[in-house]
Amino acid sequence: MSAYEEEMETAGNLGRKLGLNRRQFLAATTGMAAVAAVSAAGPMKSAAHAANGILVPPPRRGIILYTVRDAITRDPLTSNLASGFKAVLKELGRIGYAQVEFAGYAQHRNAEGGASLESVEGARLLRGWLDDSGLVAQGNHGFIPGSWPLNQADLDRFKLHLEIANILGMKHVGTGSDPTGSAYKADWDVAAEKWNTLGQIASEAGLKLYTHNHDVAYSFLLDSGPLDAQGRPTRSSGIRRLEYFLQNTDPKHVWLEMDIFWAYVAQYKHKTFTAPDGSAQTQIFNPLGVVQAQTMRFPLFHAKDGKINTGTANGYDMVPFGTGDIDYKSFFSEMGAKGYHNPMYEQDNAPGGTANPGQSLQYAALSYNNISKLRG
């Protein structure tokens, strides 16, 4: 029996003791209902995953749909491969994934439901497909208003996205972009003000608002030293941009999804800065340390693997999860708050194009298998 089959059997046994089928049990264990139910049922083997050293238990194994975007946007009339949301969600559920993160609501126009499901009606359709596939929606890289102060049109669309998230059963809603692409403190101050406001609106809707990082967000903030011709600072006190953002946003309303791959790229790329006195300083970034310092502010991760390649600017090549050099065993073992985080497998370059149109779903299966094997 495989490790996955053993875990499914354990889930089934526990579920039966609680009067739930396996799918209901796995869905329930993503929230507090399962915690209460397991506590009421006694110790049983509720610690089975921990005892077995499983680092990502079955209910926490997720994928962001950007990884399989080629399949979602594929014309179902011209391919016998899974195409469109309905078929792709079914296939991901068959592989074993328990949760997904959306990357927008667009699919091929010939797929059931049409080209865009960014609506209340579309969300209801998606929710039915999620339920049928045994999947839970955990978050979305969706719409974040660009305007500040907010204009009414942006506010209305943002609130629509919150309504869609609630229909889909999400606990989180976010974006795939950094809060700002600027290097300057003043712009990050504005971003913090904006996100505090948006985060409070999301909290009132029962959702956690999160931002996502690329490597540049963990480069050094320009906040000191001589000013340039536009009156902007040219040197750094040594704080990284996203760390400054964390310090200046309300932990009750603003959350983060660390893309672990891009955090390791930052470790490779962003090592030095010019201090206020003009001296060159070296500071190696520690992605795990950032999470350990405030682990509850990272409810989601992008579990994206990389193979070291110092011949490239990033220092890593993206590869299927479990085939790279990022030490996920240590990361997931040592980050704290076990059972709280939701790792979402992502691979930007998973689609194989016309040469291998099934590649992204093949990589999804391979990566799921490797995630399920992670032991502490």
Specify the pLDDT at position 52.
83
Say how far apart CA 107 and CA 84 lie, in whole Å: 6
The residues near 118 (Cβ < 8 Å, ≥ 6 apart) are 104, 105, 106, 160, 164
Domains and CATH numbers, the chain: 1-52 (no CATH), 56-372 (3.20.20.150)
Q: How far apart are CA 93 and CA 24, in angstroms?
A: 14
The tens digit of pLDDT for each residue in 340-360 reads 999 999 999 999 999 999 999
CA 128 → CA 124, 169, 248, distances in Å? 6, 11, 39
For the stretch 216-253, pLDDT in tens is 999 999 999 999 999 999 999 999 999 999 999 999 99
Q: Which residues of the chain have pLDDT under 50?
A: 1-47
Give this prediction's pTM.
0.87
Enter the tokens of residue 95.
Answer: 């592989």
Q: Specify whether the CB–CB gap between 242 and 221 falls below 8 A.
A: no
Residue 131: per-residue pLDDT? 98
- Residue 330 amino acid letter: S
